[in-house]
């Protein structure tokens, strides 16, 4: 075995520090959400679940949660459907300017959300479309579609083209080939894309804040609650729940993505 050298020990400490900086603040969320005090400070006073009870009793929160779920589902479905079409086109056909198309669809990832939010707001005003959850869906699809395309393209890339050709050769047309061969083989990618785009939409604040009008999504509701110091523990409880659900969904998404038969060429072929 290799002896740990001095450099390795420093690297180890660096990694520990880095992870602590990354995750300790996040861990304070669930910690203080069970603390029996309205003040977020050490020492901890006592264990309570009353903040969770208050959270569950809040009807405005229910409405915001329901809005976020509706937006999330719609965004997940639309951006995954668009991503599926784009990924198939970009990986299967010799598209003129395919690289440029991919670049432009990914661009919203690199434009600051605040800029994106304002520009969509101006556009919607110009065409006279009222602000509602619909406009939030529009904005979210713009930032979620690149995620869907990336996830689905990696699935299509590792997929032997002759599988689809073999299906055509055996008598199926393009449509039935898609349902009998392509869809089952990219299904893990589709599920993974649905989950990821849902989470991105569910957690998104800035664009929703600009485009939601009077219908608050959950992050907007939380932002509103932060004005009242005595409500902070309730927000922490809500944050803890969202955190755990998000983590679970991401883990499932990544697990499903690597799952199943991958349709790659056998080794040596």
Partner 1 sequence: MDDAYIRIDRITKRFSGVTAVDRVDLSIRRGEFFSLLGPSGCGKTTLLRMIAGFEYPDEGEIHIDGLPVTDLPPNKRPSNMVFQSYAIFPHLNVADNIGYGLRRAGLTKAERNARIEEALAMIRLPDMGKRKADQLSGGQRQRVALARALVNRPKVLLLDEPLGALDKRLREAMQIELRQIQKTVGITFVFVTHDQEEALSMSDRIAVMSSGQVLQIADPRTLYEKPNCREVADFIGTMNFFEGTVIGTGGDITEIDAGAAGRLQARNVAVALSAPGTEVLLAVRPEKIALNTANSASLIGRVSAAAYLGERSHLQVSVEGLKNPIAVAAQMATQHAGAQVSLSWAADAAIVLPRE
| Contact status: 181 vs partner 1 (CB under 8 A) | yes
Q: Judged by CB under 8 A, which of 165, 229, 245, 248 binds partner 1?
A: 165
β-bridge mates for residue 35, sequence order? 47
Task: Indicate whether 178 belongs to the interface with partner 1 (CB under 8 A).
Answer: no
> Please, which residue, 99 or 261, has the CB nearer to partner 1?
261
CB of 103 to partner 1, least distance (A): 22
The least CB distance from residue 170 to partner 1, in Å, is 3
Nearer to partner 1, 7 or 171 (CB): 171
Q: Compare residues 4 and 98 and give the one whose CB is closer to partner 1.
A: 98
DSSP 68-100: HHHHHHHHHHHHHHHHHHHHHHHHHS--TTHHH
| Closest CB 183 distance from partner 1, rounded Å | 10
Residue 192 interacts with partner 1 (CB under 8 A): yes or no: no
Q: Counting contacts by CB under 8 A, is residue 154 touching partner 1?
A: no
How many other C-beta atoms lie within 10 A of the C-beta of residue 139?
Answer: 28
Residue 166 binds partner 1 (CB under 8 A): yes
Q: Is 258 in the site for partner 1 (CB under 8 A)?
A: no
CA 78, 247, 40 angle in degrees (round to 5)?
120
Q: Is residue 175 involved in binding partner 1 (CB under 8 A)? A: no
* Cβ–Cβ under 8 Å, residues 224 and 173: no
Shortest Å distance, C-beta 134 to partner 1: 38
Please choose, out of 107-115, 131-139, 213-221, 255-263, the segment that lies near partner 1 by the rule CB under 8 A: 255-263
Q: Does 84 bind partner 1 (CB under 8 A)?
A: no
Instruction: Compute the distance between CA of residue 220 and CA of residue 61 in angstroms, rounded to an integer.
Output: 10
Q: Which two tokens stand for residue 140?
A: 């979210």
Among 33, 135, 167, 192, binds partner 1 (CB under 8 A): 167
Cα-Cα-Cα-Cα dihedral of 103, 106, 110, 112, to 10°?
Answer: 130
Interaction between residue 27 and partner 1 (CB under 8 A): no
User: Would you say 80 and 191 are in contact if contact means Cβ atoms under 8 Å apart?
Assistant: no
Minimum CB distance to partner 1 smaller for 97 or for 171: 171
Q: How many CB atoms lie within 10 A of CB 187?
A: 14
- How many helices (H) and strands (E) the chain has is answered by 12, 0
Distance of CA 213 to CAs 147, 170, 253, 257, Å? Answer: 26, 54, 31, 36
Burial class (CB in 10 A: 0-12, 13-18, 19+), 101: middle
CB of 111 to partner 1, least distance (A): 35
Q: Does 261 bind partner 1 (CB under 8 A)?
A: yes
Chain residues in the site for partner 1 (CB under 8 A): 160, 162-163, 165-173, 180-181, 184-185, 260-263, 265-266, 268-269
């Amino acid at each position: 075995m290799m002896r740990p050298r001095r450099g390795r020990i420093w690297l180890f400490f660096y990694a520990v520090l880095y992870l602590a900086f990354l995750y300790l603040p996040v861990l304070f969320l669930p910690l203080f959400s069970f603390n029996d005090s309205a003040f977020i400070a050490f020492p901890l006073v006592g264990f309570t679940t009353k903040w969770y009870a208050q959270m569950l009793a809040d009807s405005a929160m229910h409405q915001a949660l329901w809005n976020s779920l509706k937006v999330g589902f719609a965004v997940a479905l639309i951006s995954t459907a668009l991503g599926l079409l784009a990924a198939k086109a970009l990986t299967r056909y010799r598209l003129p300017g395919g690289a440029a198309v991919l670049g432009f669809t990914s661009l919203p990832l690199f434009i600051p959300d605040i800029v994106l939010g304002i520009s969509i707001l101006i556009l919607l005003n110009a065409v006279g479309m009222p602000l509602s959850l619909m406009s939030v869906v529009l904005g979210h699809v713009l930032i979620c579609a690149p995620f869907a395309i990336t996830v689905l393209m990696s699935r299509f890339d590792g997929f032997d083209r002759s599988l689809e050709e073999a299906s055509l050769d055996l008598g199926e047309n393009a449509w039935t080939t898609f349902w009998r061969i392509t869809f089952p083989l990219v299904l893990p990618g589709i599920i993974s894309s649905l989950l990821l785009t849902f989470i991105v939409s569910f957690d998104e604040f800035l664009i929703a804040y600009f485009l939601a009008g009077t219908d608050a999504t959950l992050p907007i509701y939380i932002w509103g609650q932060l004005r009242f110091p005595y409500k902070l523990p309730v927000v922490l409880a809500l944050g803890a729940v969202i955190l755990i659900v998000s983590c679970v969904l991401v883990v499932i998404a990544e697990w499903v993505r690597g799952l199943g038969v991958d349709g790659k060429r056998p080794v040596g072929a």
